[in-house]
Amino acid sequence: MTERTLRRVAILGGSRIPFCRSNTQYQDLSNLDMLTAALNGLADRYQLAGLEIDEVGAGAVISHSKDWNLAREAVLSSKLSPLTTAYTVQMACGTSLQAAVQLGAKIATGQIDSAIAAGTDTTSDAPIVFGARFAKRLIKLANAKSLGERFAAFKGFRPGELKPASPNAGEPRTRMSMGQHCEIMAKQWGISREAQDRLAWESHQKGARALAEGFFDDLIVPCAGVSRDNHLRPDSTLEKLASLKPAFDKESGKGTLTAGNSTPLTDGASSVLLASEDWAAKRGLPVQAYLTFAKTASVDFVAGEGLLMAPTIAVARLLKDAGLTLQDFDFYEIHEAFAAQVLCTLRAWESDQYCRERLGLPGALGSIDPAKLNVNGSSLAFGHPFAATGGRVLATLAKLLHQRGSGRGLISICTAGGMGIAAILEKP
């Protein structure tokens, strides 16, 4: 392969539809509907209608079998040129950030000049399927060549076989939900209910302030008559949060995770435009920030590690690659799957023992300035449509750096399956 100089990966901006709690305003929309709306929002904002983008990488976590070609179908339904190539990617809650990293690598090496990373998710339109026994009967029925074979397909049938198998976001290997896993983490790290509630309350306050100041005006495009995220609670109070009952540990009397300090099931979609500097310049589009480093990591949660602790490892490796310290950032975007997850992550980085024994470092990474954390709110305020969160975070951080005029931001996202993904954005 011919040697070539790596190019800088420019982030030009993003567009998303409002995030809505599941089974509310988007209950009649599919992943395809929402992803198409997010792509159209990006096309309108950056004059991409009819334009052939080199590649689109997008995906969903909860999807129907018919969505196997989701990214391409969304492109064909959008204002982008039908000549635009698209592929579907899935990395749980890190899906759209992973798509951006993959596409960014292609831009850096000169394989492509333009790309869109996107994600969508809905649990309002979750796939409801029959159990394996009845499903096999239907397959036999479809392949039957005679009346006798059709009757034979239902030999021994019991009405109970008609009970649908509902989708389950729990971990297949532990039979536990993400919230149950995070509850264990909170106990292991000694994270108090009060600290979780305060982080959740602050997220809503920051998000409401940013919304009122117009920060999201050019990042959110209306969809299905909705113009703002419907989970945001500017009137939330610490007293209201304190009154909520535990949501995952309801028996021990020691549960601390509630509906108020955990993200709700959410529907939504997001998209981000990436490009080479030359491509951006030719179209007269300013570069908001550059995607400079990224790293993934995983933990053995089946053997007892905290399910959502992988970002602590990814960030440590990322800092080593970049030659930076944890304090060398102007903004920190740590995905708020649960308030406890964020607080466990921060405490782990402050722990000399954890950093030495688990991360292989000479000492603790240290603490961060809380004033720089999720400054415009995060998932606790806006909701978390799994595959769409990375795109929301990327677009938010890129705009923050663009407004500041210079600086550096760190992204940390935990995912199902005990994985994590981290990235650095910079504005020279």
pLDDT at 289: 98
Looking at the annotation, which residues are catalytic? 93, 384, 414
Could you give the CA distance from residue 204 to residue 247 in angstroms, rounded to a whole number? 19
Picking from 290, 261, 263, the residue whose alpha carbon sits closest to that of residue 274 is 290
* SS3 assignment, position 17: coil
Q: pLDDT 10s digit of each residue in the chain, 428 long?
A: 566 799 999 999 999 999 999 999 999 999 999 999 999 999 999 999 999 999 999 999 999 888 999 999 999 999 999 999 999 999 999 999 999 999 999 999 999 999 999 999 999 998 877 778 888 888 888 898 998 888 888 888 888 777 876 666 689 999 999 999 999 999 999 999 999 999 999 999 999 999 999 999 999 999 999 999 999 999 999 999 999 999 999 999 999 999 999 999 999 999 999 999 999 999 999 999 999 999 999 999 999 999 999 999 999 999 999 999 999 999 999 999 999 999 999 999 999 999 999 999 999 999 999 999 999 999 999 999 999 999 999 999 999 999 999 999 999 999 999 999 999 999 99
Could you give the CA distance from residue 179 to residue 412 in angstroms, rounded to a whole number? 18
At 365, give phi and psi (nearest 5°): -70, -30
pTM listed for this prediction? 0.94
Provide the token pair at 359.
């991360």
